Amino acid sequence: MTHRSERRGIHVDQSELLCTKGCGFYGNVAWHGLCSKCWREENSRAGHKQIQEDHALAERLQREEEAAYASSQQGASQPQPKPQHAIAPFSKFEERKTKEKSRKVHTMSKFFTTSAKTPPKKVPAEAQSTSSPSASRRPVETDRATQEFISFLKTLKPGREIFKQCRAFTEDMAYKRDLAADEMSEYVQDFYQNLSDRLHTHFKGSSERVESVMDEVERYMMTRLYEGTFCPETTDDENKDLAIQKRIRALHWVTIEMLCVPVDENIPEVSDNVVKAITDVIEMDSKRVPRDKLTCITRCSKHIFNAIKTTKKEAASADDFLPTLIYIVLKANPPRLQSNIQYITRFCNPSRLMSGEDGYYFTNLCCAVAFIEKLDGQSLNLSAEEFDLYMSGQVSPERCKAVPSSAEPAALSQMNKSLDLLTGLGARQERVMEGARRLESDLIDWRDGVQHKVQDVLERFPLETQPPPSSTASSSAIDADNVENDLLPPPLQPQLFAG
């Protein structure tokens, strides 16, 4: 396409407009020069190719696995160990899987007698696309998750099996969206538990290795399952979200002093950290994977620690941290707070949630929410009447109460500072505008000057257009001025010779 734009003017070959496939229809730049039909074909082929690649990889991993298994089997040459405990060979595994699948279908048919025609053995490509009914709506993100997951598993020996199990499970979950949230959670948690146990015992992974695998498993599965599992309709998560949101709005009047937050927002660095913490806790809602959500909470907590440390000049303890976190949550009013907490609790890898640093910050967030829900006058060192007045919005703390001395002047001075800054900015803006105007008038002057000069030159050396000599009367006849034309002998006539 580029060379077309290089040419000047509208000079396009007819052939360039046509579909590059040569089907005779007109093509479109947006479809890489293809016509709509060819583009659709091409596109679906690319999708298929992706799926096939995944499968090829899965096959390859299986072959490697089998080879490894065969060699170990030759070495040991024993009968297979008991299937319950040791890793079943792949043929076994396959067999069990098909058995399971048929059983699943059997169960399914009981649930939906009309849809009993589900083929027992699914084409895997199809399975992948049906793994979540809404997959078509957001293929980009899930596909990327799949890709990343596969490339991560490439480095592992049992990679193929892990992938297969995860995919089968995810697929299976898609049918289970009518389950209550707690059941889904149990289901997923059992899967995590079984898989990590297997990794521990059969594949002899070290704890850290297993953890990292489990993280990727969680990322892959939850990216795919997010839609069905986040704030499911079977729960009242949404109502809780609205309730806490309303509650936080009603508590807008709570100040740093009431909560005894050890943070001084007059220090620019501190207020900067407070803003960052607020941003992070809000960002949590935009993530799909429980662990990513946890990471947001952790980042938020780190900013809080920075703020406390800058203010107090000592390492923050929980006594400082929790009130500050409560303050941040009140300020941020994070969207769908309860849903997010429930989602993390239900579907996060338990080892991360229960021990680990992330788990600690998450627990603190839960505490903050619980505190906000139960908050009363006493916990803010207010009398019950005062609290009620503030809550009903009849009175705001600043007006009726002798505000703690530092609060208002501090805010005022901050405001004045900001105002000064704004005035300064205004002046600078004015100067810039003036400069721009000057530049503009300079340009105009320059242009006029140049025009003048050109005019001058033209006047001094007027352009004399000399008519080409003697092309006046008979420009058409070539030999018009050939005067002796008539004197020429007549043209030769052809003569015939006889014989």
Residues that bind another protein (CB under 8 A): 83-85, 88, 96-97, 100, 103, 106-107, 165, 168-169, 172, 183, 186-187, 189-191, 193-195, 197-198, 200-201, 207, 260, 302, 305-306, 308-309, 313-319, 321-323, 350-351, 354-357, 360-361, 363, 366-367, 370-371, 374, 378-379
Give the torsion through C-alpha atoms of 442, 447, 453, 459, to 10 deg.
-140
Helix axes 268-283, 318-332, angle to 10 degrees: 70
Nearer to another protein, 115 or 378 (CB): 378
Q: Please state the φ and ψ torsions of residue 382, each to the nearest 5 degrees.
A: -120, 155
Q: State the nearest-atom distance from the C-beta of 214 to another protein, in Å.
A: 12
Q: State the nearest-atom distance from the C-beta of 371 to another protein, in Å.
A: 6
- Give the C-alpha distances (Å, rounded to integers) separating 89 from 75, 96, 221: 15, 11, 25
Distance CA 375, CA 371 (A): 6
Residue with tokens 């399914």: 108
Q: State the nearest-atom distance from the C-beta of 191 to another protein, in Å.
A: 5
For residue 17, give the amino acid letter: L
CB atoms within 10 A of CB 134: 13
Nearer to another protein, 4 or 121 (CB): 121
Say if residue 354 is exposed, middle or buried (CB neighbours under 10 Å; 0-12, 13-18, 19+): exposed
Nearer to another protein, 208 or 486 (CB): 208
Nearer to another protein, 97 or 287 (CB): 97
Nearer to another protein, 41 or 95 (CB): 95
Nearer to another protein, 172 or 388 (CB): 172
Q: State the nearest-atom distance from the C-beta of 118 to another protein, in Å.
A: 16
Say if residues 50 and 145 touch (Cβ distance below 8 Å).
Answer: no
Nearer to another protein, 68 or 354 (CB): 354
Element (H, E) at 14: helix 14-17
Half-sphere exposure of residue 47, counting CA atoms within 13 Å on the CB side?
15
Q: State the nearest-atom distance from the C-beta of 395 to another protein, in Å.
A: 23
Q: State the nearest-atom distance from the C-beta of 147 to another protein, in Å.
A: 22
Nearer to another protein, 234 or 363 (CB): 363
The answer for residues whose C-beta is within 8 angstroms of residue 34's C-beta and 6 or more apart is: 19, 20, 21, 27, 28, 42
E strand spans, 9-76: none
CA 119 to chain CA mean position, Å? 35
Q: State the nearest-atom distance from the C-beta of 154 to another protein, in Å.
A: 20
Nearer to another protein, 146 or 196 (CB): 196
Q: State the nearest-atom distance from the C-beta of 384 to another protein, in Å.
A: 15
Q: What are the CB-based long-range contacts (under 8 Å, 24+) for 383-392?
A: 390/253, 391/250, 391/251
Q: State the nearest-atom distance from the C-beta of 269 to another protein, in Å.
A: 14
CB atoms within 10 A of CB 407: 14
Q: State the nearest-atom distance from the C-beta of 65 to another protein, in Å.
A: 16
Say if residues 144 and 54 touch (Cβ distance below 8 Å).
Answer: no
Distance CA 114, CA 109 (A): 8
> 170, 129, 169: which is closest to 47 by C-alpha?
129
Q: State the nearest-atom distance from the C-beta of 101 to another protein, in Å.
A: 10
Distance CA 197, CA 204 (A): 10
The answer for residues whose C-beta is within 8 angstroms of residue 372's C-beta and 6 or more apart is: 244, 247, 248, 251, 326, 329, 330
Q: State the nearest-atom distance from the C-beta of 363 to another protein, in Å.
A: 6
Nearer to another protein, 19 or 297 (CB): 297
Say if residues 408 and 401 touch (Cβ distance below 8 Å).
Answer: no
Nearer to another protein, 354 or 458 (CB): 354
For residue 239, give the amino acid letter: N
Nearer to another protein, 149 or 191 (CB): 191
Distance CA 349, CA 94 (A): 27
